[in-house]
Each structure stands twice: as structure tokens, then as C-alpha cells.
Structure 1
Amino acid sequence: MTNLKVGGVPEHFNYPWYITLKNKEYHKHDINLRWQDYHGGTGQMCKALRNGSVDIAIVLTEGIIKDIADGNPSKIVQTYVKTPLIWGIHVNASSTFKKIEDLEDATIAISRFGSGSHLMAIVNAHNQGWDIDALKFKVIGNLQGGIDALTNGEADYFMWEHFTTKPFVDNGTFRRIDDCPTPWPCFVIAVRNEVLENNSDEIKKVLAIINSETEDFKKIDAIDKTLAKRYKQQLEDIQDWLKITEWNDGSPITKNLITRIQNKMIKFNVINEKRNSGDFIKNL
């Protein structure tokens, strides 16, 4: 039995992993796959890949590209969710900020530097024509940290996935000012280089299993009700999310896609220089 550790955010995107693990799909191939939730998101997972505490991570595309460029010894093996992620831009419900233009000089809550909440704040600032170098950040760790920071006034706005934060908009904790979609496919699967060298056959089997699950995920009977209950979402919100979300069918990731993403990330001042796109990917 090969032991492998996989991690991701505890959100609806990753429910297909829960199903395959619950059904012991990996055991059938002599793989003992263990899931770990990363509430701190991509920045926390990049750190875990670096120190070897996770082998496979379902991470935000922009976060892992930046971290591999900065020396993370991992490779992207495929796209996981090929549609954009919708980032909600949130303020405290009683905040005086009313529109996106009001936030130019405000302090941004981010889970950690290099995380999606950090990098997408830069993308949003670029979209608005703001001075990237003048942005002010407050590191808050995770979603709960963002709630706390906006509630106690340590930060002014917080960007997090639209549907995950919707319950906090509904209950009056947050007010959403706007949305900012990623200009690229949102989630990829990254694997540590050491694991790719020693367990490539097992990684191929893991990918085949999860891709088979996501292919028919939307057709699962009452999946909308299951997700709404598990993630404490309104049914209509989950239905809206399912309409706009597409998982990858197992198609390999291309150097051309990585090049296009790098070009945008340079334009947004997220990375400083473009690297050989082949350095980021390993197609199995």
C-alpha cells in the first residue's frame, strides 16, 4: 500500500475528493490516500508542499505558479477546475465603503502573502488602475481571520470566494461591494517533485479516479441539496455555482496555457519575470 497525502480547501469544489475517499476508490489500487483540510488556503498548501507535509495539493493557479517560480519543488500535473473563480470583495456590513472606488487606499485582509486573497487583491487593484506598490495588507490567516479583522476594524476589505462567503453576506457580517473573477482557470493539482519521481504510477491512478468522479459530478442525484446542506449554503446559490463551474476532464495542462497566465501575472505585477513554462508542469 502506497501512502499519499492530499490537501485542499474545505469547500464545495473539493467534494468530489470526499466522495472518492468515502468510497475507498484509491484502496482498490493499493493507494492509502489521506485528505487534509487547509483552511488557510493556497499559501498554507504551498508551504506544506515545500516542507513535505502534503504530497498532492488542489491549489489556486496563480498561487502555485508564483510559488514554483519562487522555488517550490513541485509541478502542476493538471487543471482541476477549468472555469474562473469568482472572488467577492467584502467589507464589514456597517462599513462606510459603498463602491469599489472607495477602497483604493483601504487596508486589505489577506490569508497570507502569496495566497489567492493576496494575489487577487493585486489583480483587482490593477483592474481599477490603482498603484500596486501603495497597497496595504493585513495578514489574517483564514476566512475566520478575515471576519474578525473586518469586524474589529483591523482591515477594511477582504476578498474570498463568492459562494463560500455568501452566508456571511446573508447574515449581515459582510457586505459584498463587487466581484472579481480570475482571468485564468482557477484550481490546479500540484504534486511534489519527489513524489512524481517515486510514485508517478500512483499519481496517474489518483488523477484517473478524481477525473472520473468530476466528469459526472453534476449528474449525481440531488447533488445540489447535498452540497447546500454540507456547506451551509442556500440551495439557489449552490445551483448558481454548479451552473458556472466546470471541472477538467483530464486533459493535460499545456505550456501555452502557463505562458498566457504568466504573461497576465507579469502585467498585474504578481510575478517579476517569466520563466520557461515547462518548468511549472509535468504531464503524466
Structure 2
Amino acid sequence: MKTDKMDTLKVGGVPEHFNLPWRLAIEEQLFEASGKSLIWEDQPMGTGQMVKKLESGELDVAVLLTEGITKAILEDGLKAKILQVYVTSPLHWGIHVPFQSDIRTFDDLKDQTFAISRYGSGSHLMTYVKADQEEWDTNTLQFNVIGDVEGGMQSLEKNESQAFLWEKYTTHPYTEKGRCRYIDEVVTPWPCFVIAVREDLCGSEKEFLNEICTIVGKRAFAMKNSENVIELISNRYDLRSGQVANWLIETDWNYDMKSYTEEIENTIHYLVKLGLISKAKVENWESKLFC
């Protein structure tokens, strides 16, 4: 059954600097020429929260982690599709521990509990990636679900968890305030963010969805090359200008709507290796994943 055309699309993403191109495009009304409007909704609990909201219909479009949405679609059967890669560079996940603890290295965290926003979230899946890189037995990993970054900080402060993985620039203000301590990082072996949509919109709204991606990509390019970009991001997200400058060097968006099929395939292979996606679910993965 064909879905009726929609006048308004609800878009969700984490309230972090990666998504500033979306916020600017909406504020500047760059989508209005199409006769449609976009409503942005911050999702502080991350990818796991957005997967649930795509499933329930509370969101139409979500900007979320590549590994999380890939697992949700292929392994868990989420009725959603990937439109395209959004941020082409990898994500630098900081590994954080209680400020007063004696923990100095990742190896000190064996048999300890990791705070995660939700099962299937990036904080959950990237713990597996780091543990695998260190040749741990990933079956022994222990988790404590904490909701969002503030929940992660509280969990560390109460020693309910001994480690918490989150994007390292977002957590920098917390480390400066002594709420946690950064000991290491793990970098995603794939482009970090994709744009996903509810499956039923892939037909009725495909043209507009592609237009959205084009507008956001162009706005990202203009933002990155703006003279005042460091000041803009620093003021909006309470980050030091030096931190923003370093982050911009490490970060690129999909400016030209390029396909990253090979990189998505590598993500799938890694998740299968970690036992997070079963081999049987990978058959015909392109038709299952892409809009």
C-alpha cells in the first residue's frame, strides 16, 4: 500500500557538533522550497533510542551510528533503510573511567562493568570492537545500561560502572570538570554516521529524501570551509577552540552523496566476526539495508 505524501518529516540525531549542518539548514529554511518542513528532535540517548523511535514511527529520519543501524536492520529486523553515509570519517570514542580510580589502561578493565546507553548502541558495540582488538574474550563483557552521557557520568561517579565509551570531544568538558578521566580511545573501522529512514518512506518520499541529503551535504561543506566555523561550534557546544580545530581536521561529511558500499560491507563483516550479526542474516544485505 502506498504511503501518503508527508508535509513534515521528523528528524532525530544526537545533540552534538556532528549534526550542526542539519541544525543550520533547518534554521536557514533551506528545505522550504520543496514545500515541506523538517522538525529536528535531539536524541541524547543516542543510536539505541533512535532505533526504537524509527520502529515506533516517532521519527521519520535518523542520523545514527553505522554499526548500530546495520545491526538493527540485518539482525533485529528493523523496518528501516539507509539513505547514505553522512559522516565519512571514523568516530573517535574516548574510553573514560572514574576520576579517582586506579585504572590506567584498557587492560585494567578486564572483568569490570561498562556503562552503555542501550544495548545495540555505539557505546555497547564499540566496547566489543575494542575488546576484540585487545584479544579479550568478548563473552565475558559486562554492561550497565545508563541512558545518556549524563547517566554515564553518574554511573562512573557512583562506581556502578568502571568504564564508559563516548565521543571524546563531547565528553571533554566532563573530563575538565573532574567527573571522569580519559585513558584511551578506539576508532571506528568504518564511516561513523549514516542517514536512515523508515522503510515505508523509501517509495513515497524517495525524491525528497535524496534532496535532503544533497542540501545537508552542501551545508556541511560550506560550514567546514567557513572562516568562523571554530567559533561557531565552540560557542554552541561548549568546546574549547583547540578541541574544535582538532575535531575538524579529523572529520568529513559526505559532501557529494557518494556511495560507500564497500565500507558498509566491511562493517557487516566485522559485526559478523564479533557475533553481533549472524551469517544467515547477511544474505542479500544490500537490498535489506539500502533505500
Residue matched to 2:195 = 189
Structure 2: stretches of 5+ with no match in the other structure:
1-5
**Partner SS for 2:170:** helix
Q: Once the 2 structures are TM-superposed, how far is the Cα of residue 279 of structure 1 from its aligned partner?
A: 2.9
Is it true that 1:258 corresponds to 2:264 in the alignment?
yes
Q: Once the 2 structures are TM-superposed, how far is the Cα of residue 251 of structure 1 from its aligned partner?
A: 3.0
Is it true that 1:209 corresponds to 2:240 in the alignment?
no
> For each residue in 1:64-111, what CA deviation from the matched residue of structure 2 results, as whole angstroms up to 9, or x when unmatched?
000001111111111000000000000011012111110011100000
Indicate which of 89, 113, 126 corresponds to 2:119: 113
> For each residue in 1:112-158, what CA deviation from the matched residue of structure 2 results, as whole angstroms up to 9, or x when unmatched?
00000000011111111111111110000000100010001111100
The structure-2 alpha-carbon separation of the partners of 1:282 and 1:100, relative to structure 1 and needing over 3 Å to count, comes to closer
Q: How does 1:76-155 map to 2 (within 5 A)?
A: 76-155=82-161
2:283 is aligned with what amino acid? R
Q: How does 1:7-26 map to 2 (within 5 A)?
A: 7-26=12-31
2:18 is aligned with what amino acid? F
1: distance between equivalents of 2:242 and 2:288? 37
> Do the aligned partners of 2:70 and 2:289 also contact (CA within 8 Å) in 1?
no
Q: Once the 2 structures are TM-superposed, how far is the Cα of residue 27 of structure 1 from its aligned partner?
A: 1.2
2: distance between equivalents of 1:119 and 1:146? 16
2: distance between equivalents of 1:278 and 1:174? 40
2: distance between equivalents of 1:172 and 1:131? 31
Q: Quote the sequence identity (%).
A: 39
2: distance between equivalents of 1:30 and 1:37? 23
1: distance between equivalents of 2:214 and 2:98? 43
Structure 1: stretches of 5+ with no match in the other structure:
none
2: distance between equivalents of 1:110 and 1:94? 20
**Partner SS for 2:20:** helix
Residue matched to 1:282 = 290
> Do the aligned partners of 1:258 and 1:277 also contact (CA within 8 Å) in 2?
no
**Partner SS for 1:164:** coil
Indicate which of 238, 241, 247 corresponds to 2:253: 247
TM-score under structure 1 length normalisation: 0.96
TM-score under structure 2 length normalisation: 0.94
Is it true that 1:218 corresponds to 2:215 in the alignment?
no
Q: Number of residues paired by the alignment?
A: 283
> Do the aligned partners of 1:76 and 1:280 also contact (CA within 8 Å) in 2?
no
Residue matched to 1:27 = 32
